[in-house]
A and B are shown apart, each in its own frame.
Chain A
Amino acid sequence: MADREERRFAEVSRESVRLMAEGAGVELGDDVAALLAEDVCYRLREATQSSSQFMRHAKRRKLTVEDFNRALRWSNVEAICGYGAQDALPFRSVKEGELFFVEDRDVNLVELALATNIPKGCAETMVRVNVSYLDGKGNLEPQGTVPTAVQSLSDDLLKYYQQITRAILGEDPHLMKVALLDLQSNSKIAALLPYFVYVISGVKSVSHDLEQLNRLMHMVKSLVQNPYLYLGSYVRSLVSSVMYCILEPLAASINPLNDHWTLRDYAALLLSHIFWTHGDLVSGLYHQIVLSLQKVLSDPVRPLCSHYGAVVGLHALGWKAVERVLFPHLPAYWANLQAVLDDYSVSNAQVKADGHKVYGAILVAVERLLKMKALSLSQSAEGHSGAHPGSVVGAASYRVNSPGLSPPPEPLSEAALGIASHLQVGGAGCHWEEWTPVPLPAMYCELYSFFGDSLAVRFSTGPGFGTHSPCTPSQLSNSRKEPPGPASNLDTTRKMPQLTANLNISPRQDGSPRTDPPPPSLSGTGSVRAVPRASSMQRSKSSSSCSRQRSAGLSREVFPKARFTSPQTTPPAFSFLIGGRQMGQRCQGRRPFQTMFATTPPVSAVPPRTYAHKLPVIGRVGKPVRRWTCSHYSLHLPL
């Protein structure tokens, strides 16, 4: 009984009673103290019980000092004053005397009375109405889900969420940086993911504010890079937000002073990153993205900035996407672009500038397409030969060279291995045979016809090239891949430095780390995987470092000669070659652009110069176009 009671009630010991009596100047006998102690306990319980009634009627859950005092007052006991404060009272102890007491500091009333900072008092009590549930059942669904979600968020999480969003969307850039860093590394924010995704989906409402859009994109980046977050189906939502920034004619882009181009570039970069790291979470995502990009690109009504977005988006998705979508579409699109660029009227100035942007973007994309394609040829050849140092080199170099986007290390290494094995087992090889894209030379030729010498990539179009049989491109690229050795061909040797440089920076070989449902078409998973990584790489390089810039500059310096030599000398041979190729392609002819390509023979029959002639300005623009990726004034340079 005794211990039961101890569990149930607070007890006042007889020692306490005697102490209190002493304090009041009364000496108590032991038995008296015991009796008194028991009585005190009982009275306390009684008062507590009756005080709970006041609590219930005040419709509270918390028993207050006030309730207790009321109970005391109604049982004709003096109320206890001085304990009505809302905040907890510090309970102190004195070690020597084993004494516990509530700290009760003196209050300087004079100071209080003469205080100048008079508290304003709390806000006005008011009544606000809101329609909580319409027609009862109207909200049946969310009423189950929303409140539980809200409830599951602890106060701390909620506070974190508020702080983070405020910091990211706020004014202070330093704060933003800290917040983003934390978002990128915090392991306990999984519960908040839906909320952040929701915040990010707000891009549509801030399309006028470039700054906010940028910040939201940074938020995406942080989330994507957080190794502890499983994005799951939220990837789709994130991707659509990013795509919005890439493709939409943002309200912010009405003002030419706004550098929405950088935003689009960054978003494209992000897209590739998301896709590379989380693309396996949503099946068919790649296809969807490519389709929507294609749609925008083929829609002539869309403004040029949208087209630009589509191009950089494709570029970001990798050279395969460029080859698949942009390249076949290029002839049709070219006509429109040409029209814009040829209009020198003042009213068209702005549009023309935009057109140059698109031109530059296409140029960058196709250049890489060419390089990568050449590389892939060599790679597949290498794969057949059983050695793949390139992939290892690529992976390693990727790690070093991509400071902008640092993906988690595990997937990377895994990826490198996975790709190697995948390639070896024969995915790539087989795919290559299945998928017969426009052969490199033909592609080059066609592109050259559009861009002329603006193309930074050079291939030998000379006799050496011609002598190679079309079915042995591996040999061709193989020889090209090799360090400058005893080259048979002058052109190839000349191009060597550039290609090797590309090798170093592009990790395209380590394509698909994961075994996914293979993309609907195209050259297998390898390409799909390879693309984003490579592109992100490329992008980060182009936007951050100057090495590429330099290499580009180098190529410019080096190749002017080639510009005049090779096209001049080779056209007849070249066209012949194309014709042969095309015949072969026609036989297979499934791809849509093949028919388009069929229109090119007459074009290519005409010396490519004719096109090049039309674009003298563009040729000059080449350099700045490259640079716009990291500068916002580039737009106006060519004009």
Chain B
Amino acid sequence: DTSLAKQKTDIKTEPSTDGFGNNNANDGRVLSASPGSGSSTGSNKQTAAVTPEDQQTLLAVLQFLKKNKLIESVEILRREAGLPENSLDPKATESAGAGSGGAAAVAEDQPDVRVVLSAYSQQGDPTLYEVYYSDLKKFIETVLDCHRAELSQVFYPLFVHMYLELVYNNHESEAKAFFEKFSGDQECYYEEDLRVLSGLTKKEHMRGNETLLDFRTSKFVLRISRDSYQLLKRHLQERQNNQIWNIIQEHLYIDIFDGMPRSKSQIDAMSGSLAGEAKREANKTKVYYGLLKEPEIELPLDDEDEEAENEEGKPKKKKPKKDSMGSKSKKQDPNAPSQNRIPLPELKDSDKLDKIMYMKEATKRIRLGSDNLPSVCFYTFLNAYQGLTAVDFTDDSSLIAGGFADSTVRVWSVTPKKLRKVKSAADLNLIDKESDDVLERIMDEKTASESKIMYGHSGPVYGISFSPDRNYLLSSSEDGTVRLWSLLTFTCLVAYKGHNYPVWDTQFSPYGYYFVSGGHDRVARLWATDHYQPLRIFSGHLADITCTRFHPNSNYVATGSSDRTIRVWDVLSGNCVRIFTGHKGPIHSLAFSPNGKFLASGATDGRVLLWDIGHGLMMGELKGHTDTIYSLRFSRDGEILASGSMDNTVRLWDVMKAFDDLETDDFTAATGHIHLQDNSQELLLGTYTTKSTPVIHLHFTRRNLLLAAGAFNP
């Protein structure tokens, strides 16, 4: 078993261990070696003494020396490093550099373009590319059915890399012909990327193309069963198909697993992201998805309702009940992080009051289920000609905020209680600070109005989020800033500058104080309201981060991206602890279930995917929407998932059933190969249409009334 594990890791380093000196047969540790050694490039590989990184560095140095005509130094260095004579052959150098170029580039946020692209300088006969590819295609088409689906995964990355290689080496017409011939074979969910590719026919264009850099900087990850992999390898060896073999070695990461090859549907469910599937190790880290222990707050006995019908016995009855509630929350969830894993702000008195309100409301909560659907209220933004881009409700549903394309942020009061500003400093001086109702006295009645507008951004406001205590509002904008607004003065307090590109989304932590933002610069940042610089930078996505969500226990952050993956990050370490692939389009909405165990994600492909965070598994696929899903929300008890979409509908899904129906045994849990049932129609509890209003936000009130919001689209 240990050897197996080793072999797996070895696959990655195979280029270094392959070589003309190493025979396939006598290397027991390595499953296989480079197929054939007849070609000029293949024969120029170096010995296995050095790791690829070192080797690359050495070669680079050698090349540098040679370029500067420092012949003696070259000789000395070569001798010392034990490099072969011909390693200075330019082709060999480049090919070696290519072998680890990707790895070198991954290390940096902004990879050195030249290094990355140099991977393609390898010269092969351009006319043979088609032959190679169709040869492989023929082979894969003839293998057994069970392997075919798995091996077909190779097509897309191979196709892209071969095409780019042709383009890079200025074989424009060959590249076009190659694209023409084989682009039709690719899976339909890569259509977007193919369109980008097809537009690219010149070497000059490759520079600065982000999609391409993504492809270069990361290895495309494939999961293939051992049997299928062996087949592929044997074939390539027999055919001495070096071109393809090199690409596989250099640009693909093949994650080999033992067991049954996966079916086509299993593969399709997980593929579709920009960089292939997630490596299995990527999802092995333990995630403390449990909820934090609620602080113990004494429920006050002077409940008005109780008092109205108060008898002597009532309060007594209530006490044990309250105690049981307390003991329940005292029980430590084994999956929960320790209480102070992340330092959280102290509860203020007002927070406690709010908690009490929350508990009171929770007792009146309607229990939802498949036979008890929520009522839906729709908040329509009228006359929003400037373009409504983001909406948020406060947790107690008393305020609604809208971010607009004209850079404004507007807040409305949903309750009869009007919005008031705090009095001016001069007026505040006159107030008796000792009085009980000082909080009421500081408010300026003259400013009372139903809505307030806040100016400050210089670009469309794409993300908006209320703080849990309703004192602050965050907004993120195209201008690259995240702004913190006070809802007492309705002014901007801080502009957090860090993202230098549009910030697509931001969200407050459920405990306040922290917030997360993510944007076009492909990193998510964790901030604290009192720091002007981010506390953490979560880097790893290959494209824009389109949405960010805090885990209910505030220890994790989930980000969705246009690279079609979802990542979950540990706030404490800043590490990526989960990568979920399976969406076929940019992800635009995320939602954690209230118990913290599950994550739902919605994308432009109109599908909602459900994920088990603990196991890192896909739990279900909800098909039904016909357009981008901009909003997802679990009901307060987590029984129902509501999804709102651009297609003017709100749909309700029976997620409890989805979670229950899924059969997971140890094997599937271990490999992550879930057999998804296509039962979206059974899970769909209701479809609610608006007239002509895309649904861009959803919110369950504390009593489980569903609120939806959007701008009327005349």
Contact = CB atoms under 8 A, between A and B. Distances in A.
Contacts of B546: 57
A56 interface: yes
Contact of B387 (A58, A124, A127): A58
Contacts of A125: 381-386, 402, 404, 410
A105 interface: no
Nearest to A130: B378
B690 interface: yes
A26 to B, nearest CB: 20
Q: Which 7 A-B pairs have the closest CB atoms?
A: A136-B373, A1-B176, A133-B376, A45-B199, A123-B383, A132-B378, A1-B180
A127 B379 contact: yes
A8 B180 CA distance: 13
A42 interface: yes
Contact of A131 (B177, B377, B412): B377
B588 interface: yes
Given A53-B562, A59-B646, A133 B375 contact: yes
Given A127-B412, A133-B376, A59 B388 contact: yes
Contacts of A136: 372-376, 652, 685-686, 688
A53 B460 CA distance: 13
B384 to A, nearest CB: 5
Contacts of A54: 460, 478, 502
Q: How big is the B interface, by class?
A: 35 or more
27 contacts: A1-B179, A38-B201, A46-B209, A49-B196, A57-B502, A57-B504, A58-B387, A58-B460, A58-B462, A59-B628, A66-B405, A70-B459, A125-B383, A125-B410, A127-B381, A127-B382, A127-B400, A130-B378, A132-B376, A132-B377, A133-B688, A136-B374, A136-B376, A136-B652, A138-B375, A143-B687, A147-B689
- The prevalent SS among residues of B at the interface is mixed
Nearest to B691: A150
Contacts of B501: 74
Contact of B389 (A5, A57, A127, A147): A57
A135 B200 CA distance: 53
A120 interface: no
B126 interface: no
A195 B176 CA distance: 58
Contacts of A123: 382-383
B52 interface: no
Interface in A74-133: 74, 122-133
B205 interface: yes
B548 interface: no
Nearest to A75: B208
Contacts of B209: 46
A434 interface: no
B198 interface: yes
A132 B376 CA distance: 6
B630 interface: yes
A46 B205 CA distance: 10
Q: Pick from A126, A131, A134 the residue with the most CB of B within 10 Å.
A: A126
Contact of B451 (A41, A61, A74, A126): A126
Interface in B348-373: 372-373
B632 to A, nearest CB: 14
B688 A56 contact: no
B373 A137 contact: yes
Interface string B531-572: 000000000000010100000000000000010000000000
Interface in A189-214: none
Nearest to B694: A59
B380 A130 contact: yes
B630 A8 contact: no
A42 B205 contact: yes
A130 B410 contact: no
Q: Pick from B199, B209, B373, B520 the residue with the most CB of A within 10 Å.
A: B199
B378 A126 contact: no
Contacts of A143: 686-689
A143 B586 CA distance: 30
Contacts of A41: 199
Contacts of A342: none
Given A59-B630, A61-B646, 20 more contacts: A1-B177, A1-B180, A8-B199, A45-B199, A54-B460, A56-B588, A57-B389, A58-B387, A66-B405, A74-B520, A123-B382, A126-B381, A126-B412, A127-B412, A130-B377, A132-B690, A135-B373, A136-B374, A136-B686, A143-B687
Contacts of A15: none
B375 A131 contact: yes
A56 B627 CA distance: 11
B382 A60 contact: no
B604 interface: yes
B375 to A, nearest CB: 5
A126 B383 contact: yes
Nearest to A122: B385
B179 A128 contact: no
A39 B202 contact: yes
B224 interface: no
Nearest to B586: A56
Q: Pick from A54, A66, A130, A136 the residue with the most CB of B within 10 Å.
A: A136
B88 interface: no
Contacts of A4: 180, 198
Q: Pick from A46, A57, A136 the residue with the most CB of B within 10 Å.
A: A57
Interface in B640-698: 646, 652, 685-691, 694, 696
A124 B520 CA distance: 32
Nearest to A60: B387
B27 interface: no
B29 interface: no
Interface in B77-100: none
Contacts of A135: 372-375
B389 A58 contact: yes
Contacts of B544: 53
B54 interface: no
A129 B414 contact: yes
B67 interface: no
B321 interface: no
A8 B201 CA distance: 14
A9 interface: yes
A59 B376 contact: no
B195 interface: yes
Q: Pick from A58, A132, A135 the residue with the most CB of B within 10 Å.
A: A132
A140 interface: yes
B265 to A, nearest CB: 28
Given A1-B177, A1-B179, A56-B588, A126 B688 contact: no
A137 B431 CA distance: 53
Interface string B427-465: 000000000000000000000000100000001101000
Contacts of B460: 54, 57-58
A70 B204 CA distance: 23
Contacts of A147: 689, 691
Contact of B380 (A1, A57, A128, A150): A128
Given A130-B380, A132-B378, A5 B196 contact: no
Interface in A133-174: 133-140, 143, 147, 150
Contacts of A42: 199-202, 205
A126 B375 CA distance: 22
Interface string A1-34: 1001100110000000000000000000000000
Contacts of B414: 127, 129
A550 B412 CA distance: 75
B389 A129 contact: no
Contacts of B196: 49
A4 B586 CA distance: 26
A128 B382 contact: yes
Contacts of A131: 375-377
B419 to A, nearest CB: 13
A162 to B, nearest CB: 15
A577 B387 CA distance: 91
B198 A5 contact: yes
Contacts of B383: 122-126
